[in-house]
Amino acid sequence: MKRIFYCAVALIMATACGGPAPQQPADPELQFNEDGKFKIVQFTDTHLCYNRRESFDKSVDVVMSIVKAEKPDLVVFTGDIVTSAPLKEGIDNLLAPLDEMGVPTLYLLGNHDREDELPGWEIAEVVTAHSSVINTMHSGNLDDVALRLMSSDGSKVAAVVYGFDSNDYTVVPDHWDYGWISHTQIDWYRNKSQEFTKANGNLPVPSYAYMHIPILEYAEADRDGHLIGNNFEGVFGPELNSGLLAAMEECADVHGIFCGHDHSDDFVAKLGAVAHVYGRCTGDGHPHRGGRVVELTEGDYGFRSWIREWDGDVVQDYTYEYPVDYRLRKASPAEGKEHGITVTKYTGVTSLDDIETAGTPVSTEVVEHPRSYGNEGQNAGFVYEGMLYVPETSLWTLHIMADEHGSFTIDDFTFNDTDWHRGLKRVYLEKGYHPIKIKVFTDGFHVMRVQWRPQDVDRLNEIPVEYFYVK
């Protein structure tokens, strides 16, 4: 039965240690419904003990009541699930009702799951023996996973759910307490992300990551980008930052990270473009225990989420809109006839906004590239207009690097840069020619150049002169 179930589920699973991934099915199971929706319910920190039957049964009832009410397409347990002996009996009795309902279930371990009775590899054997569970254990333990969520018509991967083992405690001497996502795991994630992106026309696939222990950035997100919910306990993560969020921001695909671990926290906060989200504690130590529901919409970069409590109440209904526009900018059929770009200099200007309305044009010429450097000794404005040739369809990161005020318009997409280190924007561009306009305002000495990188390049580079054309 287990072998048959795996053949019916659409997922890419691979161990961070390089184990083989199972063959992909032709008719996937994890799929957006005909309304373009996919629902995930997260349960966390149940801390179940099968020998405490009243508490155990009540917690299982909470899980199953929420599953029956929400009818999720996927259930995710994010660690500290069955934490006291007998572990096998506890896991079996927790998962048996989900087996009967046929709900695909992802089982992720926390820092307490491996502390009692059974080692990780035996827990993995018990967990993967259940027909509802979609984990694998190629590494000898439960693997990190990348679950493909297929589009409603089954034609493509429409979203990805990553499941990470956030490990338990530090493996490095002289560092405090909790473990972190390793570089091996981050490399695995980057490789999977790049595979999905390339298969999707160099456009990142909307992705969502689940784990037990919060990454360090949760604390900063709560301070600077708190959106909804509570932080009653504080963020207790690893002492070291291994760089998972940096990798996710570079890959531009993960829009939400979902964790547990801190029982009294249930907030949603934003750092950069990524939502940092706590589940609601499901164990009997929480007075309003429940589960976090996430609803994905096919084609959207973001999610809707709410918490369903054990008594049926729904709280924190919130929609997170990802702050990047990934619509494809179509290439222009008009090819440039000569290399270069036209620049017009204006005087009598007071700001970036009035260059073309209040300024006086004093010169117009064709130059090789939109790069300026010099001391005007007075207020001045420069407007560069032409065509930019984009060599491949991709999500491009564009940057106007200026010590004064500048703006960059490509097709109908405009962004401003008022700081040397800011002003990076991502734009999904089709291969071919795109009209551009670059404006720079200076009150004296100025430096300006424009940079870019496609999605599979790690650093920004100045755009070469051969990609600029006169209209």
Q: How many residues does the chain have?
A: 471
Task: Classify residue 453: in a domain, yes or no.
Answer: yes
Residue 400's pLDDT is: 87
Same domain, 150 and 58: yes
Q: Give pLDDT tens digits for 24-40.
A: 333 337 999 999 999 99
Same domain, 311 and 376: no
Residue with tokens 């967990």: 127
> Which has the higher per-residue pLDDT, 214 or 403?
214
Domains in the chain: how many in total? 2
Residue 398: pLDDT band with limits 50, 70, 90: very high
d(CA 317, CA 293): 9
Which of 366, 370, 399, 396 shows the shortest CA–CA distance to 465? Answer: 370
Same domain, 384 and 415: yes
Task: Classify residue 406: in a domain, yes or no.
Answer: yes
Report the CATH number that the domain containing residue 60 is assigned in CATH.
3.60.21.10
Tokens, residue 470:
């006169």
Same domain, 283 and 399: no
Question: At residue 284, does pLDDT exceed 50?
Answer: yes
Same domain, 164 and 125: yes
* pTM across the whole model: 0.90
**288-292, 318-322, 420-424: range with lowest mean pLDDT:** 420-424
Same domain, 278 and 349: no
Task: Classify residue 331: in a domain, yes or no.
Answer: no
Residue 5's pLDDT is: 34
Same domain, 274 and 375: no
Task: Classify residue 162: in a domain, yes or no.
Answer: yes
Same domain, 300 and 378: no
Residue 350's pLDDT is: 92
Same domain, 180 and 146: yes
Same domain, 262 and 399: no
Q: Give pLDDT tens digits for 188-219.
A: 999 999 999 999 999 999 999 999 999 999 99
Q: Which of 269, 291, 321 is the last residue of a domain?
A: 321
Instruction: Region of 369 please: left (phi>0), alpha (psi -120 to 50) or beta.
Output: beta
Task: Classify residue 333: in a domain, yes or no.
Answer: no
d(CA 428, CA 451): 15
Task: Classify residue 335: in a domain, yes or no.
Answer: no
**10-14, 176-180, 326-330, 397-401: range with lowest mean pLDDT:** 10-14
The three-state DSSP-derived secondary structure of 70-99 is HCCCEEEEECCCEEECCHHHHHHHHHHHHH
Residue ranges making up the domain that contains 288: 2-321
Task: Classify residue 336: in a domain, yes or no.
Answer: no
Same domain, 237 and 366: no
Report the CATH number that the domain containing residue 360 is assigned in CATH.
2.60.120.1560
Residue 142's pLDDT is: 94
Same domain, 28 and 91: yes
Question: At residue 426, does pLDDT exceed 70?
Answer: yes
Q: Which of 292, 321, 350 is the last residue of a domain?
A: 321
> Which has the higher per-residue pLDDT, 177 or 199?
199
